[in-house]
Amino acid sequence: MRAIQFITHTTDSIGYVEGARLALEGGCKWVQLRMKDATDDEVRNAAAEIQPLCKEKEAVFLLDDRVELAKELHADGVHLGKNDMPIDEARRILGEEYIIGGTANTFEDIERIASQGADYIGCGPFRFTTTKKNLAPVLGIDGYRNIIERMDDAGINIPVVAIGGITEEDIDGILATGVKGIAVSGTVLNADDPVAMMKKLINNN
């Protein structure tokens, strides 16, 4: 089974809660609630529906960015982008029991994030994606291979999750570089059958 993370997004017909529900129904064990332009109350409302679904399916539930809210809601952790709160500061607030992930685009980002005590790294983008604004330079397979090699040379042992426009056909090649997991959003939400697509991504069949 592949380690697939689902990051919430919306389409014309699927909202944040419904997207998470479909991903979980497909067997996903890791949901990150990402609502960049929403208010805390809007995130609270979505979390009130998604968090119990994650518990029911024994899936990890993370918030994107909102450290104080993650603590208030007793989420499993947070994912912090480059412009969000520094990871070491988030660790002071949340303590050791929370999962903290950080976003990286370069080996230098990974060095910094690892030294600050992150539990995993979301590294990308693999290719151009419309899901995220202000996209960093794309990495491609060679970019991941180079980053993983440099991590090995430096003795940095932290799981790297690839993100950014990844499709079903890309996954084997990405995982062959030493990347430990894959984060998806649009590939599932835009599929004709999102539940079947998630199952396919996880089970590789």
Region 65-84: mean pLDDT is 97
What is the number of structural domains in the chain?
1
Phi first, then psi: what are they for 2, rounded to 5°?
A: -90, 150
Region 176-187: mean pLDDT is 98
> Is the pLDDT at 32 greater than 90, yes or no?
yes
- pTM, two decimals, is 0.96
**Residue 6: enclosing H or E segment and its boundaries?**
strand 4-7
Region 15-31: mean pLDDT is 98
Name the packing angle between helices 194-203 and 16-25 (round to 10°).
Answer: 50
Q: Give yes or no for a contact between 92 and 69, defined as CB atoms under 8 angstroms apart.
A: no
**Domain of residue 109, residue span:** 4-203
The Cα 101–Cα 87 span in angstroms is 8
What per-residue confidence (pLDDT) applies to 112?
A: 97
Give me the CATH number covering residue 28. 3.20.20.70
Q: What is the pLDDT of residues 84-139, one digit of tens each?
A: 999 999 999 999 999 999 999 999 999 999 999 999 999 999 998 776 677 788 99
If phi > 0 it is left, if psi is from -120 to 50 it is alpha, else beta; for residue 178 that is: left
